Structure 1
Amino acid sequence: MNMMNGAAVAGLVDKHKPTLEKAAAAAGARGYWSAYPEHLKAYGETAKDDGEAAFKAHLGKAFDIEVPGASGTVGSEQSPFGVDLGITYPKPDIDAVLKAAQGAMKGWRRASADQRAAVCVEILERLNKKTPEILFAVMHTTGQAFMMAFQAGGPHAQDRGLEAVTYGWMAQTQVPAGEVTWEKPQGKNPPLVMKKRWHVSPRGVAVVVGCATFPTWNGYPGLFASLVTGNPVVVKPHPGAVLPLAITVTVAREVLAEAGFDPNLVTLAADSVDAPITKELCTRPEVKIIDFTGSTAFGDWLEQNCRQAQVYTEKAGVNFVVIDSTNDFKGMVRNMAFTLSLYTGQMCTTTQNIFVPKGGIETEDGHKSFDEVAQALAAGVDKFLSDPARAVEVLGAVQNPATAARIDEAKGFGTVLLDSRSIEHPYLKGARVRTPLLLAVDKKAADTYCRECFGPVAFVIACDDTADCLATARRTAMEHGAITAGLYSVKPDVVEDAVEACLDAQVALSVNLTGGVFVNQTAAFSDFHATGGNPAANASLTDLAFVANRFRFVGVREPA
């Protein structure tokens, strides 16, 4: 049985308590704050070369990680950029993994909230130092372009992890960590006096079901929310994006072992497309928490069939923008062109539905018809992606061949404003690169635009007027889910109407974005990612509700 290294953990508490206090203050203020630098030079002059070398050292080999009861190997990752990966991982034995996780929990729950939080922050700090390696691991499994893989896969994901640690730490420290004396006066008689103390009792084994597009950014919140609140975590990556989370688990296990805790508090459970284990794993009675990012169909299945667990899901949605009017038409078009192009529309926050009054809109240059607005958006995307060398650094690559096939299928869904085309990557010749498909449809074609068409497919939808745009957008978000909403309007009453619609649909709203902020990007410690209030997600990253149900306070009292 592992014994906590008291001196080592005390050192981590002293080292990381200031970071936790700053993070807690940032979470309360909701202004800009980040713990981890998002410029590559901060990681050393040779960061890019070092990261690529570390990544290449994994290729064609068995990944070196201990997995309880492992027998054989699995591995089916294919780089969307055409690089041959050939990495294999230990094939887990579910019985052994769950038994090991349960066995590791007792020592971890004995640690204080401060101690667990400090260990978690140390894990994140070590991950931050491996950011250049994680960059290439994310890039070549997800298809994210270089800069996005660096920022979203590294420091931004680490910020989201720290955010979860911070909220978990705050939730646990709302009651005293030590013993308290309870004394109730009894008039002339002696008072009633009790000694009381409270223990954090974690729910049990947690499973993080990773996604193929953002394994770290979407995976870290659940991983660290469960770990900081005392739960052991089994990390089950998407079979197409194992490496970033395998590196993560390795670092976590190293830190836990150094601190004297059982490294099986964090274990890897990799599988393959041909032999998936998620259903078997997640329905086990030992599993008490599940964090999932992925399709609506599988998220619904988990919610319906894993009744023994608290299930947190981020699923599909139909994100929207309503265009009513603008005083910066070119800025609006540029901003939306970037939004529609970024990572080939494979973000859960990317706009799919663009609602425009069929009578057109007012701009600083006068009235523009529906067709003029639609054509301007198409031309804006086309111009933005006209230089292939620049385009691939925004688009990245299509993660899954099924997504590329879906683009071609969607061409018959409406009038093609801008066709999707393939681009040859200038230095990664096997890359699967596609540009967005933009279609015009009428509001009546609800069957077309009311379902998520994952990937670079967007619809410009003609509605009767602005009020109809807002009503239709509100309804689609309430019925089918949405994580992001946007509005362009110079009219205060329209802005207020949009706010009310988004309050009804419980979807975050961005208004009049024309500069360097985009509707599909959110900032940790300031923006909540999803609200948990519509079918797109039942949780928000990160609020207290995301962490507070992962543990219980258990009181112990006795007469003084």
Structure 2
Amino acid sequence: MNPFELKSLTSSFINNEFCKSHSDAITVLNKYSKEEIASVSLANESEIELALSSSESAFQIMKNWSAGDCYSHLEKFISLIKEHRNTLVDIIVAEAGKPRSYAQVELERTIQTLTFAMEESRRSHGEVVNLDFANGTGKTGVVKRFAKGPVIGISPFNFPLNLSVHKIGPAFAVGAPIILKPSPYTPLSALYIAKLSALAGYPPGALNVVVANNELSEKLVRDSRTKVFSFTGSPVVGWALKDKAHKKKVVLELGGNAAVIVDEDANLEEACAIIANGAYLYAGQICISTQRIFVHKKREKEFTQMLVAKIQTLKVGDPNEMNVTVGPIIDAVHVKRIKEWVDEAIAMGAKCEVGGKVLDEQKSLYAPTLLSSVNKEMKVYAQEVFGPVATISSFSQFSEAINLVNDSDFGLQCGVFTNDFSHVKMAHEKIEVGGIIINNVPGFRMDHMPYGGVKDSGLGREGVRYAMEDFTEARLLVY
């Protein structure tokens, strides 16, 4: 039985309780049926101040926690999330429009992310510095890491639970409170687990989930009481907020137009199946969805035919159906934008190999689309589509493929299908991204690995242990 009703998720969760409801509110819709799920009040200025002050108070408690305290609280938190996994999956499917099978994966990854945080909380990440020479003879240096202070996190709609705990877990593991602002499209997942954190015994202010307009959200970023700013979202918003974070430690994960290379010796059948899923799963609304495909010229025709055939088998529709891969776009405004970008590319000379149309405007469904004959002047190639659209181009030499990948403002992750180890090494040395995935799509991710990009794709790294380093500072003791 749930410890509280879903209908209670009508406001921000601050200081271990839901706030009063106000007239200014956002409506959370089922992204497929367009039915109202909830109406969530926007926080006012006094509630923003309460979030900041209670977070500061919680830090005075949590900074004194032992590693065992951090571990035991996370252990209880994880246990409660496991108990409510079915409800959380239902929320993700409804508010994010995520196919149910993929929502179940997100729930399991959420548990795994928090488990990594729990495990890392008991590991020492300090070091002993050898000073015993020259004027340091007889001295020992010990470095210990301490939480910087309260964290402000902003999470996106596409992984409303797992990307929230990618900020919550590392904060809790180092003994830091966090103020989380979820996407207005998908606030319910975060509000639900905020209540679970209180039931797990976290002090008031340890996890404040604030649903607020942009102006008041900026106050959280600007305020000197928060010491770390962790953002996942669009490059335009992320870089603008970085400038307002002043002296805070800033971590940005900003997405991109992820590329995959299909080398001459690649297993085409295997690559085709993996790329089709990597480009169109969850309607391409993933930061590392495959967007640009570069295939060796000798294999281009064969691969394109195979890929089109595979795309045509993808099920589009109701995310509640277990065999659906491509569900709804998050909002009608983005359906319109995707359509405009594809239409513009075709008008500029791109060829539509498959798709290229809205399937159901009312339910925000856009057909899985593959475009060829593209160039860098087209938005579908140069910018992040964040929709079920991929482009395909060819190359003659592997070095040329690398140059094509690098000719971008972004650099998050890249996939390379090859059996030539010299090309594996070349990719690692030359491709300007945060991660190179061999014989898989750029969308591969495990939640403990360092994850982040270069150029406009971001700053710093997520992945629990790496985030913990960003949330702490080193303090040296010499004796």
Q: TM-score, normalised by structure 2?
A: 0.85
Correspondence for 2:355: 419
Correspondence for 2:281: 342
**Offset, 1:212:** 0.9
Correspondence for 1:247: 192
> Does structure 1 conserve the Cα–Cα contact (< 8 Å) formed by 2:13 and 2:195?
yes
> Does structure 1 conserve the Cα–Cα contact (< 8 Å) formed by 2:13 and 2:208?
no
The reply on whether 1:312 has 2:251 as its aligned counterpart is yes
The root-mean-square deviation of aligned C-alpha atoms, in Å, is: 3.5
> Does structure 2 conserve the Cα–Cα contact (< 8 Å) formed by 1:79 and 1:140?
yes
> Equivalent residue of 2:391, what SS?
strand
Match of 1:402 among 333, 345, 348: 333
**Offset, 1:553:** 5.3
Structure 2 CA distance for partners of 1:142 and 1:69, relative to 1, 3 Å: closer
> Does structure 1 conserve the Cα–Cα contact (< 8 Å) formed by 2:126 and 2:145?
no
Q: Distance in 1 between matches of 2:395 and 2:144?
A: 56
The reply on whether 1:266 has 2:193 as its aligned counterpart is no
> Does structure 1 conserve the Cα–Cα contact (< 8 Å) formed by 2:290 and 2:443?
yes
Alignment of 1:111-260 (within 5 A): 111-152=65-106, 154-171=107-124, 201-257=146-202
Q: Deviations over 1:27-60 (max 9, x none)?
A: xxxxxxxxxxxxxxxxxxxxxxx89xx99x5248
> Does structure 2 conserve the Cα–Cα contact (< 8 Å) formed by 1:441 and 1:462?
no
Correspondence for 1:539: 460
Q: Distance in 2 between matches of 1:501 and 1:539?
A: 20
> Does structure 1 conserve the Cα–Cα contact (< 8 Å) formed by 2:341 and 2:380?
no
The reply on whether 1:549 has 2:476 as its aligned counterpart is no
Correspondence for 1:474: 406
**Offset, 1:65:** 4.7
The reply on whether 1:76 has 2:8 as its aligned counterpart is no
Q: Tell me the percent identity.
A: 15
Correspondence for 1:31: none
Q: Distance in 1 between matches of 2:339 and 2:42?
A: 37
Q: TM-score, normalised by structure 1?
A: 0.73
Give the number of equivalent residue pairs: 462
Alignment of 1:367-378 (within 5 A): 370-378=300-308
**Offset, 1:202:** 2.5
> Equivalent residue of 2:462, what SS?
coil
> Does structure 2 conserve the Cα–Cα contact (< 8 Å) formed by 1:294 and 1:316?
yes
Match of 1:523 among 434, 446, 449: 446
Structure 2 CA distance for partners of 1:165 and 1:289, relative to 1, 3 Å: farther
> Equivalent residue of 2:312, what SS?
helix
Correspondence for 1:433: 365
Q: Distance in 1 between matches of 2:368 and 2:113?
A: 29
Correspondence for 1:95: 49
**Offset, 1:444:** 5.6
Q: Distance in 1 between matches of 2:277 and 2:164?
A: 25
**Offset, 1:226:** 1.6
> Does structure 1 conserve the Cα–Cα contact (< 8 Å) formed by 2:451 and 2:461?
yes
Q: Distance in 1 between matches of 2:247 and 2:217?
A: 15
- The gaps in structure 1 that reach 5 residues or longer are 1-49, 176-182, 185-191, 362-369
Correspondence for 1:104: 58
Q: Distance in 2 between matches of 1:431 and 1:142?
A: 13
Structure 2 CA distance for partners of 1:240 and 1:388, relative to 1, 3 Å: closer
> Does structure 1 conserve the Cα–Cα contact (< 8 Å) formed by 2:153 and 2:180?
yes
Structure 2 CA distance for partners of 1:303 and 1:233, relative to 1, 3 Å: same
Correspondence for 1:58: 6
Correspondence for 1:460: 392
**Offset, 1:489:** 2.8
**Offset, 1:463:** 3.7
Structure 2 CA distance for partners of 1:268 and 1:472, relative to 1, 3 Å: same
Structure 2 CA distance for partners of 1:60 and 1:423, relative to 1, 3 Å: farther
Structure 2 CA distance for partners of 1:554 and 1:80, relative to 1, 3 Å: same
Residue 455 of structure 1 aligns to which amino acid in structure 2? G
Q: Deviations over 1:199-252 (max 9, x none)?
A: 864222211112111122111121121222122211111111111000111111
Q: Distance in 2 between matches of 1:489 and 1:62?
A: 51
> Does structure 1 conserve the Cα–Cα contact (< 8 Å) formed by 2:150 and 2:225?
yes
Structure 2 CA distance for partners of 1:403 and 1:326, relative to 1, 3 Å: farther
> Does structure 2 conserve the Cα–Cα contact (< 8 Å) formed by 1:253 and 1:264?
no
Structure 2 CA distance for partners of 1:403 and 1:165, relative to 1, 3 Å: farther
> Equivalent residue of 1:75, what SS?
strand
Correspondence for 1:10: none
Structure 2 CA distance for partners of 1:495 and 1:540, relative to 1, 3 Å: same
Q: Distance in 1 between matches of 2:82 and 2:91?
A: 14
Deviates more, 1:380-389 or 1:86-95: 380-389
**Offset, 1:142:** 0.9
